[in-house]
Amino acid sequence: MAVEMKRFKVSAVKCGTYEKSEVTQALTALLDHIGGLGAYVKPGQKVLIKPNLLAPRPPETAVTTHPALVTVIAEAIKQQGAFPFIGDSPGGFGILERIEQLWEITGMKQAAAASGATLVNFEKSRIKELELPLGKKKVKIPVAACVLEDFDVVINVPKFKTHDLTITTGAIKNMFGVMPGLTKIQFHKLAPKKEDLSELLVSLFTQVIPQLNIMDCIIGMEGEGPGSSGTPIATGFLLAADNALAMDIVQASIMGIALENVPVIAVAIKAGLGPKTLAEIDLPGASLEELRPVKFNLPPGSYADKIPRFMVPLLSYIARLIRLTDPVVNDELCTKCQVCVKSCPVKAIDNYQGNIRINYKKCIECFCCIELCPARAMTIKRSGLLKLFEKKG
Ligand code: SF4
Ligand code: SF4
């Protein structure tokens, strides 16, 4: 007897603008494809909306989940007779003291006021330490206990974005925000290689699995994401799924990236967190072809994965001599705000005689400095070798 393969659903609905009426209509259609919001949220429940609030950037930069979508989701939760909350922990030094400013700049304060949702400061939550596997070791990871204990339902609302290090940042990686403040940066120190980092991200995700995922792909980000150095792109749709891995597979496929080249997806597939291939996913609402942008710029790091496997041992040796990607500072744009100096997990950046300087011997290429630089002064320099594969790609 043939064994029936489990099917996964990722709902997709076109939505061209953040106009409230258009987003409301699109969200209703989006959720109807996967059973409606009532299948996930019951009257009286406390529901946490977890957007991507990486840094205090205005909505038009596409660094964070758009407040119009968060507002509409919160209103829909209220219509179910439930109670919406909005919470995330951003990255970088100094933001925690300015959490009010983060909410204001990202539009979350306005989203909460308009919808009657309550803002949750993860930094003020009690900390719970989780012990997670990393290779043969176990590491202790602090998370905001409120996410694990205070809510009946978590709705994950990531942003459609590229990522210099992990290639894409989607539903699974968005739950990284449950780690408070600068502890996220220390995560990079624990797992400097992207494969180890991905293993840890997936382990963390398994402790905080959201019931529903809604991805903001109305304006996405291409190129050097996920921070200000990425470029907004009008992608024009929304995605929803109960399975985060299915959503991330669809996102990578729309971007035109092979699943094995996104380490978080590869680790999550191996861990059995959902579908193994795109073929196991149904897309009610819109086809992949309808959703694909005409042209989509990948992050520089993704070209490293185009290097043929048989060349990897030799190139790994060469890469130790000539690094493939390096963060570089544009002194003309740099405001000397010190965010990068204070956020670098291995203290590879200092301010020498008024100029920001990077010690490449210490740098682990985590790209936190690029993600968090508010002035777009930190960018990636690619080696000639990588540019060669970029052209071939
Ligand atoms: S490079 Fe960016 S983050 Fe670093 S000091 Fe300059 S402006 Fe600030
Ligand atoms: S210099 Fe930048 S990329 Fe290098 S380790 Fe520090 S934060 Fe990461």
Could you report the per-residue pLDDT of 128-161, keeping only the tens digit for each?
A: 999 999 888 999 999 999 999 999 999 999 999 9
Beta carbon of 328 within 6 Å of any ligand 1 atom: no
Residues 97, 101: Cα–Cα separation, whole Å: 9
Give the position of tokens 């191996």: 270
| Cβ-based neighbours of 64, under 8 Å, separated by 6 or more | 51, 52, 53, 54, 55, 57, 106, 159
Give the length of the chain: 393
- 228, 373, 381: residue to mutate for ligand 1 pocket, most atoms within 8 A of CB: 373
**How would residue 228 be classed by pLDDT, with cut points 50, 70 and 90?**
confident
Strands 159-163 and 212-223: parallel
Strand partners, 357: 350
Exposure of 56 by Cβ count < 10 A (0-12 exposed, 13-18 middle, 19+ buried)?
buried
Exposure of 296 by Cβ count < 10 A (0-12 exposed, 13-18 middle, 19+ buried)?
middle
Residues 10, 370: Cα–Cα separation, whole Å: 31
Check residue 277 and give its pLDDT.
Answer: 97
Check residue 323 and give its pLDDT.
Answer: 62
Check residue 116 and give its pLDDT.
Answer: 98
Q: Are 157 and 214 in contact (CB under 8 A)?
A: yes
Strands 325-329 and 378-382: antiparallel
Higher pLDDT, 267 or 123: 267
Residues 46, 94: Cα–Cα separation, whole Å: 30
Q: Would you give the DSSP letter of residue 279? A: G
Q: Is the pLDDT of residue 93 over 80?
A: no
Beta carbon of 141 within 6 Å of any ligand 1 atom: no
Nearest to 115 by CA among 20, 19, 239: 20
Q: How far is the CA of 188 from the centre of ligand 2 (A)?
A: 10
| pLDDT tens sequence across 22-41 | 999 999 999 999 999 999 99
Exposure of 196 by Cβ count < 10 A (0-12 exposed, 13-18 middle, 19+ buried)?
middle
Q: Would you give the DSSP letter of residue 1? A: -
Beta carbon of 366 within 6 Å of any ligand 2 atom: yes
**How would residue 307 be classed by pLDDT, with cut points 50, 70 and 90?**
low
Closest residue by Cα to atom 4, ligand 1, is 340
**How would residue 313 be classed by pLDDT, with cut points 50, 70 and 90?**
low
What is the amino acid identity at position 15?
C
Radius of gyration of the chain (CA): 20
| pLDDT tens sequence across 192-208 | 888 899 999 999 999 99
Q: What is the mean pLDDT of residues 76-96?
A: 89
Check residue 317 and give its pLDDT.
Answer: 57
Strand partners, 154: 48
Q: How far is the CA of 189 from the centre of ligand 1 (A)?
A: 20
pTM, two decimal places: 0.92
Helix 263-270, helix 244-255: angle, nearest 10: 140
Q: Is the pLDDT of residue 387 over 80?
A: no
Check residue 286 and give its pLDDT.
Answer: 95
Percentage of the chain beyond pLDDT 70 is 89
Q: Is the pLDDT of residue 305 over 90?
A: no
**How would residue 186 be classed by pLDDT, with cut points 50, 70 and 90?**
confident
What is the amino acid identity at position 365?
E
Q: What is the mean pLDDT of residues 333-337?
A: 95
Residues 154, 49: Cα–Cα separation, whole Å: 6
- 329, 368, 381: residue to mutate for ligand 2 pocket, most atoms within 8 A of CB: 368
Residues 102, 106: Cα–Cα separation, whole Å: 6
Nearest to 365 by CA among 378, 375, 377: 378
The atom number, within ligand 1, closest to the CA of 341 reads 4
The atom number, within ligand 2, closest to the CA of 364 reads 5
Q: How far is the CA of 144 from the centre of ligand 1 (A)?
A: 28
Q: Are 372 and 55 in contact (CB under 8 A)?
A: yes
Q: Is the pLDDT of residue 46 over 60?
A: yes
Q: Which helix (H) or strand (E) holds 156?
A: strand 153-157
Q: Is the pLDDT of residue 1 over 70?
A: no
Beta carbon of 356 within 6 Å of any ligand 1 atom: yes
Beta carbon of 380 within 6 Å of any ligand 2 atom: no
Asked if omega into 345 is within 30° of 0 (cis), the reply is no
Give the position of tokens 């980000």: 221
Q: Is the pLDDT of residue 316 over 70?
A: no
Beta carbon of 363 within 6 Å of any ligand 2 atom: yes
- 358, 361, 373: residue to mutate for ligand 2 pocket, most atoms within 8 A of CB: 358
Beta carbon of 373 within 6 Å of any ligand 1 atom: yes
Residues 216, 157: Cα–Cα separation, whole Å: 7
Q: What angle do CA 86, 91, 97 make, to 5 degrees?
A: 75
Residues 18, 25: Cα–Cα separation, whole Å: 11
Strand partners, 356: 351
Closest residue by Cα to atom 3, ligand 1, is 373
Check residue 391 and give its pLDDT.
Answer: 54
Closest residue by Cα to atom 2, ligand 2, is 369
3-class state of residue 236 by DSSP: strand
What is the amino acid identity at position 17?
T
Q: What is the mean pLDDT of the chain?
A: 91
Domains of the chain, earliest start first:
8-291 (3.40.50), 300-392 (3.30.70.20)
Check residue 392 and give its pLDDT.
Answer: 53
